């Protein structure tokens, strides 16, 4: 930049008071040039910054011409309307099958602008340059409609402004200013005509350092002249073989990932105590670098300016709109709205309920899906609370009245929200959704400057959509438009500022001349970039249309030129890097040819290859020192695996890590330790034979037999795994079982009144009617998110009813159902006392699905199972202790009904669903079953008494669906190590003996 600054100094010295105009491609570019000029100690008077479009508008305003200028957003919206109208009239042939998306509309708008700037119109259209005649015809029609809208509404675009100024402004008027041109400007057609008028004797092209051994892109009109006036720098010769390269001062490094690359850059700044505002970082590709830098800057409070701005979705208003649109997509489902609440983006007034209270109210209201259910369900809750208020004593009135007030507030808020949206999609709904977004943005939490910018930008964009966009044809199209125009906004774009690290694309690096420059992401995938043509205007068509139109196949060459030009103009110390590993595609990256060239220069070896480069430049991990943040420390620990270097004394602050590390050490020994399920507080505390406050259940004892360690986690430590949520299912397994039980119970209670026996022919219609009524009742309580899943599950329940009734008709044998859902030890009912062989006993609680009574006064237990009968085969009576319910329920019933042993003659597992196909597994409760069942139970209780809870001995059978695999890590033990740990513990050996009871 030295030559540019020197030339600017000479002009300002020669014309101190004259009006000087610096013509640039963007205001920030002009500000960067002036800041550099001022920072080098120079003074500037009467110098203004303008783009070429600004100059045209300025001259027109002097002619008192009023201009309503079209922005790209407005142009894209208008283009959507034009394309839809032409498609509806069946006037398009080439584009008629393309969906009219906002992305297509924006690309079409840019294409039309390029055609117009090239000097063409609908009446003077270059049809011959297009390879497809239908495409030429469609583009001409679209251009004609666009011109009609401009004329009808007195709108202006760039082409219209340039044509008007060329027609009405004479050169004499232009001679009043001194025009200074940014050296790397490019112009198209009519722009070029206007610029030629400005190139009078009072115009200057600012010089810029040349780049040798590469041809500058032809479309940069001034670049050769600018090069000729400037002194080369060392980097000007990067691609040449002469000896100027010896003076280049730069560093190179390779990192494992992009995140490590950013961390290494920051580490080098910190180690050398480099002020942030002397640094600029230029990435080869915006993502993932920009988002990583933003998150790191927020977490570590690093001041950063972003040259290309930030996506609006990083702000509270942006997150709010993102989640609101997801809520719209999911038909206003309550779980989706709860996700929105959990984002923490709402800022309700002080009189409103807390976010936690609102979340609780929505969950308790069982809203499900559909906007109409919000008001219905909230009204039901308010009514229930008012009835409760009338029933309860006065001491509870205050809390109930508070709940009523909160539910009423939430009802009124949703009522206001939904009043914007008509019931069915049609006229006015588009405006209603826009009004709803405006309304909800009023509650957006504003915590930063970015949040304020975001809210203002969204409100402005919504207003543009309201003013210019036509009513979408469907809700899907409407949501697509809202996502494209609202969620793609970028906010907070800024040039370098004092006190801040500047972070931007290498394409903006040319006039940013800080003392320390970092170029990141220069692997072969990202740089120089891939060729991707615009199908609306192919490169051959662009070349024929106008010589200066940018060609997509030249983009990679232009990127190389931009980078080399920026390096040639820089005077700061350079650090260039790339990541070795591509995390998204799980493969290695190769360095770009540019990076490899720099490496060869650095070591003065033109034959150096990629393997040597990685071996010498890949940064080593700093395990305990120089970590940018905790995440990097943990990642290095995981990536490098060897923990022997860790000094636990230095990690006193990480007490849980130290405990975990010591747990790993103890687990690796041959001893059975507390980290594998050893509890010192056994005996009276855990043994229900001694501690009469303990009430076991059949499922807990089966769990203890299957995997004592799982019992330890769930029933001793009280750890509950997160239940997986399946958005596509209506009912979870437990709720579905309850529904089937209620259907079967009501069916039997109905036919018992008449004394009927189950008959498929006679009773199937009645059973289906009961099932549908129960399904409707459950649907009202738990509204399905997916109608298709609901239909499938309903059909399966109906099919289960058919299976159940056929099975019952076949196996009645004179049994009469006597009890349904018989409860003991729960809901205030006394527990069953199970007597053991050694005169000891324990209490058991549970719920028996059905108890049938026979004519001979014997009893049969029926237990419904909703799964498959595969694991309940006849040769798996106890299944190594995993199936104890049939035995324990028989003993419980004997105790509850004061029966003699054997009066409960069998327990039957009935599988009445489509998975079980009505199969029955009968377990005879004879003396052998009683003797073996009691022996198994005593062995399990001895394990509780001893306080040992080993992991299962059968990984294949017991671990497959276990939710605690990541906790116990049973697979990490070799069979030899496992057996060695278990061998010397008597209680464990007794438990292992349970496996012999098939």
Q: What is the DSSP letter of 38?
A: H
Supply the pLDDT for residue 59.
87
Supply the pLDDT for residue 623.
44
Supply the pLDDT for residue 201.
66
Give the residue from 268, 273, 310 showing the smallest Cα distance to 289. Answer: 310
Residues in Cβ contact with 927 at an 8 Å cutoff, skipping those fewer than 6 apart: 901, 902
Angle subtended by helix axes 475-486 and 102-117, to nearest 10: 60
How many other CB atoms are found less than 10 A from the CB of residue 129?
A: 16
Average pLDDT over residues 662-675: 85
Whether the link from the prior residue into 506 is cis, omega within 30° of 0, is no
The backbone region for 555, taken as left when phi is positive above 0, alpha when psi lies in -120 to 50, beta otherwise, is: alpha
Q: Is residue 624 pLDDT above 60, yes or no?
A: no
Give the residue from 643, 642, 674 showing the smallest Cα distance to 657. Answer: 643
Q: Quick one: tokens of 413?
A: 């808020």
Q: Picking from 358-372, 456-470, 527-541, 723-737, which range would have the lowest pLDDT averaged per residue?
A: 723-737
pLDDT, mean over the chain? 89
Supply the pLDDT for residue 2.
87
Instruction: Determine what percent of the chain is predicted with pLDDT higher than 70.
Output: 93
| pLDDT classification of 208: cutoffs 50, 70, 90 | very high
- 258 close to 286: Cβ distance less than 8 angstroms: no
Q: Quick one: tokens of 423?
A: 């019931």
| DSSP bridge partners of 346 | 444
Q: Is residue 591 pLDDT above 90, yes or no?
A: yes
Cα 293 off chain centre by: 18
Report d(CA 744, CA 797) in Å as an integer: 11
Q: Is 31 exposed, middle or buried (0-12, 13-18, 19+ CB in 10 A)?
A: middle
Average pLDDT over residues 46-52: 94
How many other CB atoms are found less than 10 A from the CB of residue 612?
A: 15
φ and ψ of 926, to 5 deg: -95, -170
Between 282 and 534, the higher pLDDT residue: 282
3-state class of 587 per DSSP? strand
In angstroms, the Cα distances linking 13 to 7, 36, 208, 229 are 10, 17, 20, 19
Q: What is the pTM of this model?
A: 0.75
Q: Is residue 644 pLDDT above 70, yes or no?
A: no
Average pLDDT over residues 982-989: 86
pLDDT in tens, 819-868: 999 999 998 899 999 999 888 999 999 999 999 999 889 999 999 998 88
DSSP notation for 184-211: T-B--THHHHHHHHH-STTEEEPP----
Average pLDDT over residues 736-743: 93
- 886 close to 840: Cβ distance less than 8 angstroms: no
| Strand pairing class (832-835; 695-697) | unpaired
Q: Where are the alpha helices (DSSP H) in 179-315?
A: 190-198, 223-228, 258-271, 289-300
Supply the pLDDT for residue 637.
58
Average pLDDT over residues 231-250: 74
Report d(CA 321, CA 315) in Å as an integer: 10
Average pLDDT over residues 389-401: 82
Supply the pLDDT for residue 133.
94
Supply the pLDDT for residue 109.
96
Q: What is the DSSP letter of 696?
A: E
Q: Quick one: tokens of 994?
A: 């349970």
Average pLDDT over residues 174-202: 87
Greatest CA span in the chain, whole angstroms?
Answer: 122
Supply the pLDDT for residue 244.
53
The backbone region for 814, taken as left when phi is positive above 0, alpha when psi lies in -120 to 50, beta otherwise, is: left
3-state class of 351 per DSSP? coil
Q: Which residue has 């489902």 as its token pair? A: 333
- 576 close to 519: Cβ distance less than 8 angstroms: yes
Report d(CA 105, CA 79) in Å as an integer: 5
| Strand pairing class (279-283; 516-520) | parallel
| DSSP bridge partners of 922 | 908
3-state class of 65 per DSSP? coil
Supply the pLDDT for residue 182.
93
Report d(CA 210, CA 241) in Å as an integer: 16
pLDDT in tens, 928-962: 999 999 999 999 999 999 999 999 998 888 888 88
3-state class of 625 per DSSP? coil
- 260 close to 584: Cβ distance less than 8 angstroms: no
Between 48 and 240, the higher pLDDT residue: 48
């Amino acid at each position: 930049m030295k030559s540019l600054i020197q030339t600017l100094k000479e002009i300002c010295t020669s014309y101190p008071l004259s009006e000087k105009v610096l013509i640039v491609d963007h205001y920030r570019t002009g500000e960067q040039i002036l800041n550099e000029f001022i920072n080098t100690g120079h003074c500037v008077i009467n110098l203004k910054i303008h783009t070429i479009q600004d100059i045209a508008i300025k001259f027109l305003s002097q002619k008192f011409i009023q201009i309503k200028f079209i922005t790209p957003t407005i142009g894209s919206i208008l283009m959507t309307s034009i394309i839809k109208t032409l498609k509806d009239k069946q006037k398009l042939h080439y584009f008629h099958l393309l969906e009219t998306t906002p992305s297509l509309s924006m690309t079409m708008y840019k294409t039309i602008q390029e055609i117009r700037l090239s000097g063409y119109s609908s009446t003077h259209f270059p049809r011959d340059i297009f390879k497809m005649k239908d495409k030429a015809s469609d583009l001409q029609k679209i251009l004609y409609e666009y011109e009609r809208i401009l004329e009808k509404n007195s709108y202006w675009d760039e082409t219209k402004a340039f044509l008007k100024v060329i027609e009405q402004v004479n050169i004499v008027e232009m001679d009043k200013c001194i025009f200074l041109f940014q050296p790397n400007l490019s112009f198209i057609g009519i722009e070029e005509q206007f610029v030629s008028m400005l190139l009078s004797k009072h115009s200057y092209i600012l010089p810029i350092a040349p780049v040798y051994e590469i041809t500058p892109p032809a479309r940069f009109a001034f670049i050769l002249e600018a090069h000729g006036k400037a002194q080369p720098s060392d980097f000007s010769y990067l691609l040449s073989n002469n000896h100027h390269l010896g003076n280049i001062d730069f560093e190179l490094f390779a990192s494992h990932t992009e995140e490590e690359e950013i961390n290494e850059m920051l580490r080098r700044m910190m180690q050398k105590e480099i002020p942030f505002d002397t640094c600029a970082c230029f990435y080869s590709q915006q993502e993932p670098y920009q988002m990583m830098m933003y998150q790191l800057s927020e977490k570590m409070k690093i001041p950063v300016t972003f040259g290309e701005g930030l996506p609006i979705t990083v702000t509270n208003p942006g997150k709010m709109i993102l989640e609101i649109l997801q809520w719209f997509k999911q038909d206003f489902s309550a779980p989706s709205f709860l996700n929105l609440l959990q984002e923490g983006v709402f800022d309700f007034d002080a009189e409103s309920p807390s976010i936690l209270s609102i979340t609780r109210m929505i969950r308790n209201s069982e809203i499900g899906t559909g906007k109409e259910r919000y008001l219905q369900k909230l009204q039901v809750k308010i009514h229930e609370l008012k009835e409760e208020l009338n029933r309860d004593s006065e001491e509870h009135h205050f809390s109930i009245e508070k709940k009523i007030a909160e539910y009423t507030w939430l009802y009124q808020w949703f009522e206001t929200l939904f009043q914007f949206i008509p019931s069915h999609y049609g006229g006015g709904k588009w405006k209603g959704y826009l009004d709803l977004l405006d309304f909800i943005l009023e509650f957006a939490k504003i915590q930063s400057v970015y949040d304020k910018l975001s809210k203002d930008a969204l409100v402005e964009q919504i207003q543009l959509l309201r003013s210019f966009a036509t009513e979408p044809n469907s809700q899907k199209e409407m949501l697509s438009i809202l996502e494209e125009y609202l969620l793609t906004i970028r906010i907070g774009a800024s040039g370098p500022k004092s006190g801040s690290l500047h972070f931007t694309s290498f394409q903006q690096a040319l006039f940013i001349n800080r003392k320390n420059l970092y170029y990141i992401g220069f692997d072969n995938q990202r740089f120089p970039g891939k060729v991707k043509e615009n199908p609306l205007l192919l490169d051959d068509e662009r070349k024929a249309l106008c010589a200066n139109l940018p060609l997509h196949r030249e983009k990679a060459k232009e990127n190389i030129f931009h980078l080399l030009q920026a390096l040639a103009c820089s005077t700061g110390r350079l650090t260039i890097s790339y990541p070795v590993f591509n995390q998204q595609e799980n493969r290695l990256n190769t360095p770009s040819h540019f990076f490899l060239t720099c490496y060869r220069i650095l070591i003065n070896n033109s034959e150096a290859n990629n393997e040597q480069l990685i071996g010498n430049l890949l940064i080593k991990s700093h395990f305990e020192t120089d970590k940018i943040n905790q995440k990097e420390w943990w990642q290095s620990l995981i990536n490098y695996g060897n923990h022997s270097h860790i000094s636990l004394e230095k990690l006193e602050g990480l007490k849980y890590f130290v405990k975990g590390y010591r747990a790993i050490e103890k687990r690796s020994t041959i001893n059975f330790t507390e980290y594998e399920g050893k509890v010192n507080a056994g005996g009276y505390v855990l043994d229900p034979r001694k501690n009469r406050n303990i009430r076991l259940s059949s499922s807990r004892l089966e769990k203890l037999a299957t995997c004592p360690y799982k019992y330890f986690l769930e029933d001793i430590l009280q750890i509950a795994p997160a239940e997986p949520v399946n958005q596509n299912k209506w009912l979870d397994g437990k709720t579905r079982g309850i529904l089937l039980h209620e259907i079967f119970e009501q069916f039997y209670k109905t036919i018992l009144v008449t004394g009927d026996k189950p008959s498929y022919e006679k009773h199937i219609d009645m059973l289906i009617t009961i099932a549908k009524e129960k399904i409707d009742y459950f649907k009202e309580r738990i509204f399905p998110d997916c109608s298709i899943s609901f239909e499938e599950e309903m059909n399966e329940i109906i099919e289960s009813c058919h299976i159940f009734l056929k099975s019952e008709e076949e196996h009645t044998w004179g049994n009469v159902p006597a009890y349904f859902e018989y409860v003991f030890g729960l809901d205030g009912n006394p527990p069953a006392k199970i007597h053991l062989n050694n005169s000891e006993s324990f209490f058991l609680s549970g719920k028996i699905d059905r108890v049938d009574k026979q004519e001979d006064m014997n009893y049969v237990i029926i237990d419904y199972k909703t799964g498959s009968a595969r694991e309940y085969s006849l040769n798996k009576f106890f299944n190594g202790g995993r199936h104890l319910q049939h035995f324990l329920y028989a003993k419980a019933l004997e105790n509850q009904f004061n029966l003699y042993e054997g009066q409960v003659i069998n327990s039957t597992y009935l599988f009445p669903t489509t998975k079980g196909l009505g199969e029955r597994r009968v377990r005879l409760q004879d003396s052998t079953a009683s003797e073996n069942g009691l022996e198994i139970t005593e062995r399990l209780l001895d394990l509780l008494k001893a306080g040992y809870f080993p992991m299962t001995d059968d990984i294949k059978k017991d671990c497959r669906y276990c939710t605690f695999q990541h906790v116990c890590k049973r697979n990490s033990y070799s069979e030899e190590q496992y057996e060695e740990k278990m061998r010397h513990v008597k209680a464990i050996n007794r438990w292992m003996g349970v496996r012999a009871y098939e």
